Amino acid sequence: MKTFVIGDIHGGLKALVQLLNKIEIKQGDKLIFLGDYVDGWSESAQLVQFLIELSETFNCVFIKGNHDVWCEAWLKNNYVDPIWYMHGGKETIQSYENVSTDDKLRHFEFFHSMSLYHIDVNNRLFLHAGFTSMHGVEKEVSAVTFYYDRTLWEMALALDKDMEETSELYPNRLKHYNEIFIGHTPTINYNCYEPMNAANVWNIDTGAAFFGPLSGMNVETKEIFQSNVVRTFYPDETGRNKS
């Protein structure tokens, strides 16, 4: 059995299909998705339906991202967060134009049932963004942190690479887990088009919503799998790019 972690998809269904074909998932494999399934490319509703059906055949863990929180609220009561609308919500709403009421309800339940984090048997933590409690995710004061925080990643990037974990200056947040896998902050912000590693944190979001590929990784071997640049699947769209 292999475990694969997959970064932020943002409505890029075609890219996900290509990525899964490259991974060649088999029965017994585990897929951990780090959130932000919607908002960006034009197939958000279709992607959600695909993920629901995928989970009926394969062992999938779905982590909730901030864009998923916005979409869940809209599916529940038609509330359109103005920030969401400007950051991909408009395209997501359009993707639902021909989706039945029953399927919208099913999609809401899919979002509502998502986990905010996942810890596997090897003490590896998977979550969308980060956490702030020095005592670990179980002691986090606000659940919002799990899908908005960027300080975990910034801290890992700023950490002295030569600092030993035994140092009294080593961040307590990082000591609780063997490895931490996140999305949320695109690695293309750092001119990197592959997953990045800092301390024991792996960032798998390679900017699929913008001008990067969709990425997955074998959590044991660290083998990287990538789709083509996602915007090449949607040549008439801008995604979350300004143009």
CATH code of 158's domain: 3.60.21.10
pLDDT of residue 243: 77
pLDDT of residue 203: 98
Q: Per the domain annotation, does 241 fall within a domain?
A: no
The sheet with strand 201-203 has its strands ordered as: 117-119, 124-127, 179-182, 201-203, 196-198
Q: Which domain holds residue 52?
A: 3-233
Q: Per the domain annotation, does 36 fall within a domain?
A: yes
Please give the model's pTM, rounded to 2 decimal places.
0.97
C-alpha span between 20 and 217 (Å, rounded): 11
Question: What pLDDT digit, counting tens, does each position of 214-237 carry?
Answer: 999 999 999 999 999 999 999 999
pLDDT of residue 242: 82
pLDDT of residue 58: 97
pLDDT of residue 43: 98
Contacts of 175 (CB under 8 A, 6+ apart): 165
Domain total of the chain:
1
Q: 30: closest CA among 181, 184, 217, 213?
A: 217
> Tens digit of pLDDT per residue, the chain (243 long)?
999 999 999 999 999 999 999 999 999 999 999 999 999 999 999 999 999 999 999 999 999 999 999 999 999 999 999 999 999 999 999 999 999 999 999 999 999 999 999 999 999 999 999 999 999 999 999 999 999 999 999 999 999 989 998 999 999 999 999 999 999 999 999 999 999 999 999 999 999 999 999 999 999 999 999 999 999 999 999 999 987
pLDDT of residue 159: 95
Question: What pLDDT digit, counting tens, does each position of 76-103 carry?
Answer: 999 999 999 999 999 999 999 999 999 9
pLDDT of residue 237: 95
With beta carbons less than 8 A apart as the criterion, state whether 46 and 95 touch.
Answer: yes
Q: Per the domain annotation, does 239 fall within a domain?
A: no
C-alpha span between 143 and 197 (Å, rounded): 25
Q: Per the domain annotation, does 158 fall within a domain?
A: yes
Q: Per the domain annotation, does 189 fall within a domain?
A: yes
